[in-house]
Amino acid sequence: MTLNLRSEVERIGDEIIARRRDFHRFPELSFEEYRTAEVIAKHLTDFGIDHQTQVGKTGVVGEISFGEGPTIALRADMDALPIQEIGDLEFKSCNDGVMHACGHDGHMAMLLGTAKVLSQHKNNLRGTVRFIFQPAEEGLGGARYMIKDGCLNGVKEIYGLHLWNYQPLGEVGVKTGPVLAAADLFEIIIKGKGGHGAAPQGTIDTIVVASQLINALQTIVSRNTNPLDNTVVTIGKIQGGDNFNIIADKVKLAGTTRAYTEENRQLIKNRISEIIDGISVSFGADIVLDYEDGYPPTINHSMPTENVMKAASRVVGKGAGSPYLSMGGEDFSYYLQKIPGCFFFIGSAPDNRDVFSTPHHCSHFDIDEKALLVGSSIFLNLVEDLLA
């Protein structure tokens, strides 16, 4: 494997890796990224880059203007996860129960590396680059708060990347259209009539109702959506019953749905309601659905995706191509609903390990740190292509 890294990135490669390790050592949860924001702001100050703090609560936005021309934005997320890190990394998390287990530490390091290089080439480009360091990607939708505070004002296109342990170093996943799913959640409360297990005839058995409902919900994917589409309906939680010989009068279910298109997202949502109504009538149970829309699907625009493919191919050659697709969700989708852009994936599976041995959101997550130099190199190629 040959990587054609930018020479400017190779020169500061150790710095980029050191920054990632510092962020990894001091992880912070969503909207609690206070130290993280301070460190980012200090680096931007050292680079001579104008910036604002407390954007979208705890976010940071920096900007370099090279004169007249378009404005493009590059984004990195900042938050960690409520996971206890295991293992013996020398830069293991110092914050109990909090860990960078998804790669956001590396995302920030890559964007800071890009910013430093660009700060030293102010006379070679035209236009403006905006560096968006966004809090609270992990479930709280920090992108919406950044948008509300104006981070996209005047921006023509936006680009974001994600370290991706499902692909090895030297591969970059780039694709037009959906690359991550809409991620919704729901809770269902079933109320019936309890009683003795030996006298079911006078009851409305909520556990039986729940079992019928769970099976019926699985037909949405198998019988209502196109088999060629990517959709998921999962029940991940069941609570009900107190004893072996007592028929429960209440059961609670909770789950998630995933879809790559808004059409399938709405189809699934509607079918859940219809199935609940039918089973409620059939069994005489009172069933209440609380459905919460999560992140929309992440759908890349065609021209920005072509831009990324061109920039990535100069770094990894034929390693640039279709990503390993996931049904995960990502709030970069909110940016893509507002302006054109592309979200792409940097292969980062640790060297000499199976690509599935250190998945995202696990307590021993780690990356091949050479992937950081790949990401910064692609960002720089993008800026050069768009603003030269």
Question: Catalytic residue positions?
Answer: 79, 137
CA-closest candidate to residue 374, choices 172, 135, 117: 172
Could you tell me which of 345, 311, 385 has the C-alpha nearest to residue 103?
345
Q: What is the CA radius of gyration of the chain?
A: 24
Place of tokens 């460190």: 39
DSSP state of 174: -
| Rounded Cα gap, residues 149 and 130, in angstroms | 14
Among 133, 161, 151, 148, smallest CA distance to 38 is for 133
Contact between 249 and 191 (Cβ < 8 Å): yes
Nearest to 235 by CA among 259, 252, 260: 252
> What whole-number distance in Å separates Cα of residue 299 and Cα of residue 146?
19
What is the distance between the alpha carbons of residues 176 and 179, in angstroms, rounded to a whole number? Answer: 8
* 255: its two tokens: 């789950």
Q: What DSSP state is assigned to residue 222? A: I
* 252 closest CA partner among 218, 202, 195, 213: 213
φ and ψ at residue 195, rounded to 5 degrees: 170, -170
CB 14 within 8 A of CB 21: no
Place of tokens 């960690």: 80
